[in-house]
Amino acid sequence: MFTNCFCQVQLSNKMDISSSPSALFALKSTLFQLFLLSPVLPLLEPFDRLYQDGTDAFYRNDFNNAVLYIEKALHSYYELRRTKIHCRLLCLDQHPSEAAQFFGSAMLRASCLNKCMHEKVGPQSLHKVSEEITQEFRKRTPHEFLQLACNKLRGEDKAAAAESCVHSNLEHVEEDQNPKRDQHFQTGREAQYHQHVFLVGVEHYRKEDYEEAIRHFERALLEYYKADTECRVLCEDQQNFWDHTPSTFWSNIYQLISDYFVQVLHCKHECVRELATRPGHHVPMQSYLPLHYDYLQFSYFKVGKIQDAMASAQACLLFHKGEEHMVENVAFYRKTLGHDVTPRKEAEWYFRRHEMERELFLVESESRGSEFRPENYWHQTLRRKDTNRVPSGPSGTTDSTATSVEMDTSLEQDYRLTEGGPLLHDHIQLVQNSKGLKGSQRVLLDNVISGEECRELRDVADVVGTAGDGYNGDPSPHTPNEKFEGSTILKALRFADEGRIQWKNVRLFYDVSEKVRRIVESYFMLNSTLHFSYTHLVCRTALSGDLLPPQGHWDSFLPYDGVI
């Protein structure tokens, strides 16, 4: 019998203050007006069950029912998401937390939330969806199934396809041909309306229609901060209390509260990346939020609103301290006005909150004795081609014929990951790249760890591994001729605490996963830090003694012995 072990590290490129200043576009009141005017929803069916029905129909080649059930699943998922946002903002407003009354406020808010959710969605408020299914919806896998089913229907019955698939393809219709497009972006599935409005503003900017560009960029900022509020309030779903047994739960209650707070805080911090990443993409648009202010500062300059231009330029400098061309622009605006102008209030508040959260991460990491690697959410340059800047020469003269700044935003292009960066260690060998593995964002490396380290990890897997762990309990998820046994770092820690494995082996498990993270980050030349989704040590055993996979299953088969 042959056993093949590998360490699977899934990585992802994704990020309250309880009240915001009135300068933040009166965002809170706008949200409450929107939600309170919305009708009570009919009882929702659990989206995971609908999704299962849809995928089952898909694999039976029953594409009409596949479209029907997946559409219902997506509707249920996004309505539930919207209801959570509404109820949490409502209860936050009704029961704000004061430091001295924190636990009382927390209990009142929990009661309010339970009542609100039950009134809106009924029994589904108690339905628990697995993290695996939730991740499928976040990764938009149901959309992919829906599109495939629609494509199949087009080949078989164009009339049925037109009826079944019209809602799933609104985003693919040209704006002039689809008057419902804006309504779809505001209320539909993508939840990226802020990006749509921003890109429309970019088009007006390039046509030198600066008044319309300003209108769209300002609207895009309003939508961005609204989406940020929604993203952050949904982070309260991020909790892993199931990782604690009853005894450890109560004996570590303050540590548990701290862990939960850090987890939620990290999720909120990551909203910066999430809001800058387009659906179906893995890499965020570079300097997404600062670009709004960069476009605005020049657009306001072109229409003669110098004070607004300077406020936007100062906002841009919050995110890009010392940016040369922006410093020059601010100096020009200051000289023109004869006085200084502070950054825009909403940008200043947003940036201050972001920096405060970074400080909290630093304090938390120091208390645990771990290294904190600060994120670089905004790059040091705005990637612009400075063919014509706002004039700010040493003599103070101005060029009234200055033309528009051409920014190299390339927002319409695909943000595909590049590869081929350094592997960081001389002994590591590149075996196959994405092309060789017939996909994207794939790499196969050898000699990442030594033979001795591999044996130690094998010892961990032999003791800790559970059949089907990480594969929804299915020990043979790919082919019937092999069995998968897996373990997480948390489980390994528990076994070490019980004396069943050595602590040094658990440390090796963690160190290897961190090493892999850094190698992947370097090899794919990413412009932002990678984060763990999970780390999984897996052993594969050939059940029949024959390593050859069934025909048609080569893509899921890994004919390599060792830790990958």
Residue 416 pLDDT exceeds 80: no
Lowest mean pLDDT among 52-56, 96-100, 373-377, 388-392: 388-392
Highest mean pLDDT among 138-152, 345-359, 515-529, 544-558: 345-359
How does DSSP assign 430-478, residue by residue? EEE-TTTTTSSS--EEE-SS-HHHHHHHHHHHHHH-EETTTTTT-S-SS
Q: Render the burial of 141-179: b for 16+ CB within 10 Å, e for the rest.
A: ebbebbbebbebbeeeeeeebeebbebbebbeeeeeeee
What pLDDT is attached to residue 137?
80
pLDDT band at 44 (very low <50, low <70, confident <90, very high): confident
Q: Which one has a higher pLDDT value, 217 or 281?
A: 217
Q: Averaged over 118-126, what is the pLDDT?
A: 72
What pLDDT is attached to residue 340?
94
Lowest mean pLDDT among 125-134, 178-187, 517-526: 178-187
* Amino acid present at 463: V
**Per-residue pLDDT reduced to its tens digit, 438-494:** 777 788 899 888 888 888 888 888 888 777 666 666 667 666 777 778 888 888 888
Please give the mean pLDDT across all residues of the chain: 72
Q: Averaged over 361-370, what is the pLDDT?
A: 71
Which residues, in sequence order, are bridge partners of residue 107?
none
Question: What is the three-class DSSP state of 23?
Answer: coil
Q: Averaged over 259-284, what is the pLDDT?
A: 81
CA distances from 388 to 329, 400, 404 (A): 12, 11, 7
Secondary structure (H, E, C), 162-182: HHHHCHHHHHHCCHHHCCCHH
Q: Which one has a higher pLDDT value, 7 or 329?
A: 329
Give every CB contact of residue 327 below 8 A, 6+ residues apart in sequence: 317
Report the 10 Å Cβ neighbour count for 289: 25
- The DSSP code for 98 is P
How far apart CA 57 and CA 517 sit, in angstroms, is: 38
Residue 561 pLDDT exceeds 80: no
How far apart CA 459 and CA 539 sit, in angstroms, is: 11
What pLDDT is attached to residue 315?
96
Residue 247 pLDDT exceeds 60: no
Lowest mean pLDDT among 177-186, 391-400, 543-552: 391-400
Find the distance separating the first CA and the last CA of the chain, reported in whole Å: 20
What pLDDT is attached to residue 144?
80
With contact defined as beta carbons under 8 Å apart, do 446 and 429 qualify? yes
Lowest mean pLDDT among 15-24, 57-66, 228-237: 15-24
Q: Averaged over 399-409, what is the pLDDT?
A: 37
Rg (CA), the chain: 26
What pLDDT is attached to residue 252?
58
pLDDT band at 555 (very low <50, low <70, confident <90, very high): very low
* Amino acid present at 166: V
Q: Which one has a higher pLDDT value, 165 or 122?
A: 122
pLDDT band at 217 (very low <50, low <70, confident <90, very high): very high
Q: Which one has a higher pLDDT value, 89 or 550?
A: 89
Q: Averaged over 301-330, what is the pLDDT?
A: 93
What pLDDT is attached to residue 372?
59
Domain extents in the chain: 3-10+418-547, 38-190, 235-407
What pLDDT is attached to residue 24?
42
Residue 358 pLDDT exceeds 80: yes
Query: Within 13 Å, how many C-alpha atoms sit on residue 408's CB side?
Result: 7
What pLDDT is attached to residue 196?
92
**Per-residue pLDDT reduced to its tens digit, 77-88:** 888 888 888 888
What pLDDT is attached to residue 376?
63
What pLDDT is attached to residue 498?
80
CA distances from 427 to 194, 220, 520 (A): 46, 49, 15
Residue 362 pLDDT exceeds 50: yes
- The DSSP code for 128 is P
**Per-residue pLDDT reduced to its tens digit, 4-43:** 554 444 443 433 433 444 434 344 444 444 344 344 445 6
